[in-house]
Structure 1
Amino acid sequence: MKKLFAVLGYPIGHSMSPIMLNDVLSYYEIDAHYHPFKVSPDELETAIRGLKAIGISGFNVTIPHKSAIIPFLDGVDDLALSIGAVNTVVNDNGKFIGYNTDGYGFIKGLNPYISSFSDKKVLVIGAGGAARAIYFTMAKMKPFALDITNRTVTKAEELIEACPFETRSKALSLEDAANHLNEYDVVIQTTMIGMYPNISETPISLRNLNPQSLVCDIIYNPLDTKFLIEARQKGATVQNGVEMFVYQGALAFEKWTGIFPDVKRMRENVLRFLEA
């Protein structure tokens, strides 16, 4: 019997996951289909019951359901529970178990540049849901320092306090972070500032950027945000949001099938779609 995988979101038409994951299902000759479901917030509980009734093998969860879905699951991984968000659900013998692959997906995308964070000073820009997933997961990697800057400093402080993993962290204003930017080995932009159509915006001044640093932006539309363009002009190594998107999908695929897929193939598919 053909297996079914899915992604739930509202809206959902923009999702690249079906293109990326249906291709690797076919590539590994898995008799399955990955389908996007548009599920409004007031339909979420009904949708989960329906997916369980038809025996779906697993599914992804995207905005606005990542936190709202938790009460409707049979279990949640400890990291996902601490983050307070689920993006991947596995059907484990009839029980829906939630995971969060966003943070690990981001960190796996850094593997070509960083093998250990123990001597790295890291700055996270933003204190929203994506920042929380990346910050909590990176805290497990025990970096030398892991600071957060946000327009509202109290939100950064609350995120640091909520983290269940011990780490050296400071909450900084945007101005303080910009003034000390030369101290950081890795700078991670997690907000939506600079996303299409607001492509002329940047979240923080890069005037003091260390040219030896790695600068990441989780946005992938456009592929080169103004933030990354300025960082590259300063001499820094840059990475856009495609790697995080591809690796979080690869980790979900592995949880469903036991196969860690060809990320190069997945990346090429995503880039073709974005460039088109």
Structure 2
Amino acid sequence: KENYKKFYEQFSKNLKLGIHEDSTNRKKLADFLRYYTSQSGDEVSSLKNYVSRMKENQKDIYYITGESKESIQNSAFVERVKKRGLEVVYMIDPIDEYSVQQLKEYEGKNLVCVTKEGLQLPEDEDDKKKLEEAKSQFEGLCKVMKEILDKKVEKVVVSNRLVTSPYCIVTSQYGWSANMERIMKAQALRDTSTMGYMAAKKLLEINPDHSIIINLKEKANADKNDKAVKDLCLLLFETSLLASGFTLEDPTSHANRIHCMIKLGLGIDEDECAAGDVGGVIQEISPLEDEEED
């Protein structure tokens, strides 16, 4: 075991490159792969061992890609999966993004990325009924948020993957993940035309059980044209981008929104904030004071 660990540290990238390029030996090479998982602790696990630990009603191998184990083990994307007792494979090597595109299944089990749309988890009739009810109740809010965010997102939907987080940004099945987008942006000789059509089409998923979303729904139902609703939706979208591993197109505007909220929290009056370095942004954020008083 120790000898293989040393071997793997030296040649893991070669094995993964083989997965990507050698279709003939892909299945054989997959047996040699090792990953951290949500149940492996500080040790790495093979896919064969993962399959042996799968739940009776589990059909797929769930995985998430990211920059480090620490950055993804508490991600919003794995909340529901882990709560169901399902194991998640952590793929933290940049080359994993390339190899997993070719390694679509292992021992008849599909590899499913938990950051992509259409995540299907083992669920009973009660779970399905609860999700359908939530979709019906929050349909109006989803429409309002889509109108506000416009082309920033493909659509806004009720999530089946969130437990404690209020929202997350998922990507389309065949587009890049947030991690892949980060990797491609870091390449000095990248093809900018590829970035245009492969860059992730973003879907905003909301948690119908979270107090932020519940209160936002009430505020939108009362007056969907309320300035506070627009400001909150934009702020939620920007923070969900960051939490989901994306970068902001306009970080300065986001920082200005946060600065104004901090000033409001510190009791700095509106005139002083408006006269400061954040300019007129306070006029957009000021309705948040009313929400705190409600």
TM over 0.5: no
**Normalising TM by the smaller chain, what interval?**
0.3 to 0.5
Rg (Cα) greater in structure: 2
Q: Which has the higher helix share?
A: 2
TM-score by length of 1: 0.32
TM-score by length of 2: 0.31
